[in-house]
Structure 1
Amino acid sequence: MIEFQATYFDGKTSRSQPVTISFDGLSLKIRGEAWSTPRDVPLRNCTIDPPLGKGPRAIKLPDGALCETGDLSAVEELERRQRGHGGMHFVHLLESRWKSAVACLLLLLLSVVAFIFYGVPFLAARAADSVPQDLMEKITRQTLGVLDKQFLEPSELSQTRMSEIDTLLKEIAVEVDPKTRYQLGFRKGGTLGSNAFALPSGLILVTDELVALSRSDRELAGLLVHEITHVKRRHALRHILQSTGVFVLIATLAGDIASITSLAASLPAVLIESGYSRKFEAEADREAGLYLIEKGWGTKPYRNLLKRLAESHPEHPGLSVFSTHPRTAERIEKLRDLEIHPDPRSSGGR
């Protein structure tokens, strides 16, 4: 039997009186000096207030009366018998054991950080992979329209040179990513100068200035593999999705077309202003380097092109092939190391 002392309030006045409460397994028997007979109240009809630290506990009776006690262990036993307040009991444990509370808080923070750094990129990759080809072509058309209207001009390259580079792209694409149909577009860079852009559907734009800057087809081969990798691994879509938030990611995974097409408006800004992440640029560089190594050309042609690109855009914040995120010197050094210690696993199954 459970028995403990408490203070009784009738709920109608402010007066209180000491009582003794005992529990027989079904009901609370409340005895007070002013009562001739004890009150008998079924425990199932009572409400036990959740604990607050180590303060007194309150038991509310059906008629509005209340019993307050400092015998916390007795009330906890009543809670167990009543089979209630499981969640609040856990809260009470945390409040009474601050070390556990701090540990839970740290665990929560670590979970949030882990989700941001690992969960969101994972979801973004899954969401990008779920976007159908016809929708990527629509996004490409919208993006190309913005680029042509605001930044690029018609190409002045000769048809012969265009055909030569187009043939080079087709030869490379068959080896690197035969599942995707790649197309090459030429534009005069204008204010963007020497540059190249990989659009989601497989369209690769190359500026006249970049073609003029290159000194061999091997240099252009490294550039084209770099851009093909952005398409192959859907870097543009993943970059946008990672910055949109969890709800858009889930909507994209669920096939919400409206949410996906709304992303197209931000793609030109990614290509022109912010560029790809360090991770995506490193992946594209590595693919380009491995391709050139497998051909027996080494990474020097691509390294030379990167160096000249950086010198031609000293003021540019960096994007696509001449991104300074990571800085060009760092990228060139990694390509040199890759040539010394090539890692076949880095090619992503190419």
Structure 2
Amino acid sequence: MEVPFRATYFDGKSARACPVEVLYDGRRLRVKGEGVALELYLEECRIAPPLGRTRRVVVLPGGGRLETDDQEAIRRLEKETGQNLGQRLVDALERRWPWVLALLVVLLLFGWAFLRWGLPAAARQAALLTPMGVVESISEQALRLLDDQFLAPSQLGPGQRQELEALFREVVVWMGGGYPYRLEFRASPQLGPNALALPSGVVVLTDELVALAKDHRELEGVLAHEVAHVLHRHSLRQLYQGAGLYVVIALALGDVASATSLAASLPLLLLQSGYSRAYELEADATAGAYLMRRHGTTAPLQTILLRLEASSGKVALPGYLSTHPSTPERVERLRRLEQGRP
């Protein structure tokens, strides 16, 4: 393949520019001009990457170089030697703006799709792969932070605690999952009626929520909802999803310390952000299915959800399940579940 082109030769020793004719015969570069006669193997030369519309440069052995405006000739030489493949692609895109715009649109769509489906899926997988030892460490650190900032010792009597612990054992036996479940009682005027599930199976129930409930079935619905969050690993998934791709990659590479270090974010994440709409609806559906199996109705959970919404104006921070989605929508979904409607 012959590639002839005109260029300017610099010997690398002076600033003198010499116009030359260059011919590539398939193996060697033949450079001819006034006082210049060179034969060089193309493999000995380095073709500088393209930079917009600037002149192309071929660096010769010994420090000399050729400069040319013949972009097409240099592209053919690059193709012949396999040099600057990535840069040639960038250069091609720079010269074809419709391609650039199309790729930008594709990139934006890919980014949106990743945030919409990819990152949640990656967070779910990371949550499922997190070792139980790490899960327990995250939960214990989160509980300590909650105790330091938001919670106080419970004022419930021993008899009332025993009744609720027995109720909780019934719930976890029915719902399963194999977690080391534990029910913790706390008081919290700051949070008000509230319940929180930590990833390891620790469920925190506030005295205020116990006082708000009219009977144990309402509390049973709340406990079933919290256990559902544990079963689906919603806390970890929310945590990883909020932290982004960094933690997902770290876990995939075995850096479990990154997950543990995020435990400090979990209490505020649960209290201030709540769970996502999808997680809340999933936990509602799981708790509703449990109530239907046990009692043939989802009314206890419906009732306490409505009572919690009515009392939500009395607490300083967002209370139990007060974020997405709205309470009327959740109650309607529970009613549809009870009626066997999708």
Query: Structure 2: how far apart are the matches of 1:177 and 1:61?
Result: 73
Deviations 1:106-151 (A, max 9, x none): 3333333333333332232222223333443333333333333433
Deviations 1:189-208 (A, max 9, x none): 32222111112221222122
Shift of 1:188: 2.4
Given the alignment of the two structures, is residue 80 of structure 1 paired with residue 79 of structure 2, yes or no? yes
Unaligned runs of at least 5 residues, structure 1: 344-350
Tell me which residue corresponds to 1:234.
Answer: 233
Tell me which residue corresponds to 1:7.
Answer: 8
Shift of 1:159: 3.0
Q: Which sits farther off after the overlay, 229-238 or 122-131? A: 122-131
Shift of 1:178: 4.5
1:3 is aligned with what amino acid?
Answer: P
Q: Secondary structure at the match of 2:204?
A: strand
Are the equivalent residues in 2 in contact too, given 1:54–1:96 (CA < 8 A)? no
Q: Secondary structure at the match of 2:323?
A: coil
Unaligned runs of at least 5 residues, structure 2: none
State the TM-score, normalized to the length of structure 1. Answer: 0.86
Query: Structure 1: how far apart are the matches of 2:130 and 2:74?
Result: 57
Q: Secondary structure at the match of 1:4?
A: strand
Are the equivalent residues in 1 in contact too, given 2:275–2:323 (CA < 8 A)? no
Written as runs of structure 1 = structure 2, the 5 A alignment for 1:28-43 is 28-32=29-33, 34-35=34-35, 38-43=37-42
* Cα gap change, 1:243 to 1:27, in 2 (>3 Å): same
* Cα gap change, 1:292 to 1:83, in 2 (>3 Å): same
Q: Which sits farther off after the overlay, 305-314 or 49-58? A: 49-58
Shift of 1:79: 1.9
Deviations 1:280-304 (A, max 9, x none): 2221112122222334533222111
* Cα gap change, 1:266 to 1:53, in 2 (>3 Å): closer
Q: Secondary structure at the match of 1:285?
A: helix
Tell me which residue corresponds to 1:300.
Answer: 299
RMSD (CA atoms): 2.5
Query: Structure 2: how far apart are the matches of 1:331 and 1:294?
Result: 19
Q: Secondary structure at the match of 1:191?
A: coil
Are the equivalent residues in 1 in contact too, given 2:187–2:206 (CA < 8 A)? yes
Tell me which residue corresponds to 2:250.
Answer: 251
* Cα gap change, 1:88 to 1:314, in 2 (>3 Å): same
Shift of 1:275: 2.1
Written as runs of structure 1 = structure 2, the 5 A alignment for 1:152-191 is 152-191=151-190
Are the equivalent residues in 2 in contact too, given 1:276–1:319 (CA < 8 A)? no
Tell me which residue corresponds to 2:93.
Answer: 94
Tell me which residue corresponds to 1:330.
Answer: 329
Query: Structure 2: how far apart are the matches of 1:186 and 1:204?
Result: 9
State the TM-score, normalized to the length of structure 2. Answer: 0.88
* Cα gap change, 1:154 to 1:61, in 2 (>3 Å): closer
Written as runs of structure 1 = structure 2, the 5 A alignment for 1:104-253 is 104-253=103-252
Deviations 1:240-280 (A, max 9, x none): 22222333333334443432332222222223333222222
Tell me which residue corresponds to 2:318.
Answer: 318
After TM superposition, what 4+ stretches of structure 1 lie above 6 angstroms from structure 2?
A: none
1:278 is aligned with what amino acid?
Answer: R
Q: Secondary structure at the match of 1:102?
A: helix
* Cα gap change, 1:80 to 1:341, in 2 (>3 Å): same
* Cα gap change, 1:234 to 1:25, in 2 (>3 Å): same
Shift of 1:229: 0.9
Q: Report how many residues are paired.
A: 340
Shift of 1:308: 0.5
Deviations 1:37-72 (A, max 9, x none): 732222222222222344442223223333333333
Are the equivalent residues in 1 in contact too, given 2:9–2:66 (CA < 8 A)? yes
* Cα gap change, 1:255 to 1:74, in 2 (>3 Å): closer
Shift of 1:12: 4.0
Q: Secondary structure at the match of 2:296?
A: coil
Given the alignment of the two structures, is residue 26 of structure 1 paired with residue 27 of structure 2, yes or no? yes
Tell me which residue corresponds to 1:339.
Answer: 338
